[in-house]
Amino acid sequence: MKLHVATWAAPCAAFWLALAGTTASAQLSGAGDDPDALAKELEAADTQADGSVSDPWEGFNRKMFAFNDGLDRKLMTPTAKAYRAVTHKKQRKGFRNFLANLRTPVIFVNDILQGEPGRAGETLGRFFINSTIGFGGMGDPAERMGIAQHSEDFGQTLAVWGVDSGPYMVLPFLGPSTMRDGFGAGVDLTLDPGFWISTDTARYLQWSKAGAGVITSREPLIEPLDGIRADSLDFYASIRSFYLQSRKREINNGRTTYEDLPDIGDFEEFDELE
């Protein structure tokens, strides 16, 4: 097995493909590890346009949004519907669980970087439980044991460190983001151990993982996104509002203020894992 930084092209391409498939779906919430939860959040969300949002590149963003939306309508939605037609609901849930389990290294590292040893312990606990009695991650017995799934990414880590989000932007294929979240997505790519492996088998697995992530993330969101598209006076502004609200909630981990976030310089909480 060879490890070469210079041969990162194939895994990187797989990463971009995976994000491309989530243009208007899982990327709305950042990591998007639980599309089912995101679907419910979309159905219940207040996606009315927020006039106070700073969007200095709105002209460019709207063009990119239109491009992504066209791709989603013509390619991603039909593909997701075809996938739904040939699979059972329990199978689709199992595939999503499996892919979420594979993202454990990224979540774990960001838990640590955010000074959240308790959540890091939960991440490892979920991985070992679901990888063993959960049939390699297809099941989620950890959830039934009270260890809830959560998502972390380097964009959230930067926010905890005090880095401002920067301008809102919509990237071709990649969808809603900010300067901070876009940079964080690139860092998360390198946290995946598979990124550094350049064998033919590893490249094949990366592409397969990316393609599966595209389809499984989009399928649960068919109806919620269609509903927002039909009901919104301004679909672009609605998605922008939802994305920014969702990212703020994720960064706070359910807290109401940033002051409640942990002190990342205090690691005494690691004693809780012993």
Residue 48: pLDDT band with limits 50, 70, 90 = low
**pLDDT, position 156:** 94
Residue 44: pLDDT band with limits 50, 70, 90 = low
pLDDT of 268 over the 60 cut = no
CA distance 115 to 161: 10
* Helices of type H across the chain: 9-21, 35-44, 58-71, 77-86, 89-102, 104-113, 117-132, 141-144, 154-160, 179-191, 200-218, 222-231, 235-252
Mean pLDDT computed over every residue of the chain: 80
pLDDT of 152 over the 70 cut = yes
Which residues are within 8 A (CB) of 257 and not within 5 positions of it... i.e. 6 or more apart? Answer: none
In this structure, of 35-49, 102-116, 238-252, the range with the lowest mean pLDDT score is 35-49
The DSSP 8-state label assigned to residue 274 in this structure reads -
pLDDT of 132 over the 70 cut = yes
Is residue 191 within 8 A of residue 106, CB to CB? The reply is yes
In this structure, of 94-98, 218-222, 248-252, the range with the lowest mean pLDDT score is 248-252
Residue type, 245: Q
pLDDT of 139 over the 80 cut = yes
The DSSP 8-state label assigned to residue 269 in this structure reads G
- Per the model's pLDDT, the better-predicted residue between 229 and 15 turns out to be 229
Residue 14 CA: distances (Å) to CA of 17, 78, 111: 5, 21, 24
HSE (side-chain half, CA atoms, 13 Å) at 36: 11
- Per the model's pLDDT, the better-predicted residue between 193 and 2 turns out to be 193
% the chain with pLDDT above 90: 51
Mean pLDDT along residues 165-176: 90
Residue 237: pLDDT band with limits 50, 70, 90 = very high
pLDDT of 258 over the 60 cut = no
Tokens 């399928």, residue located = 219
pTM over the 0.85 mark: no
Residue 246: pLDDT band with limits 50, 70, 90 = confident
> Could you read off the pLDDT of 187-213 as tens digits, one per residue?
998 998 888 888 888 888 888 888 888
Is residue 153 within 8 A of residue 31, CB to CB? The reply is yes
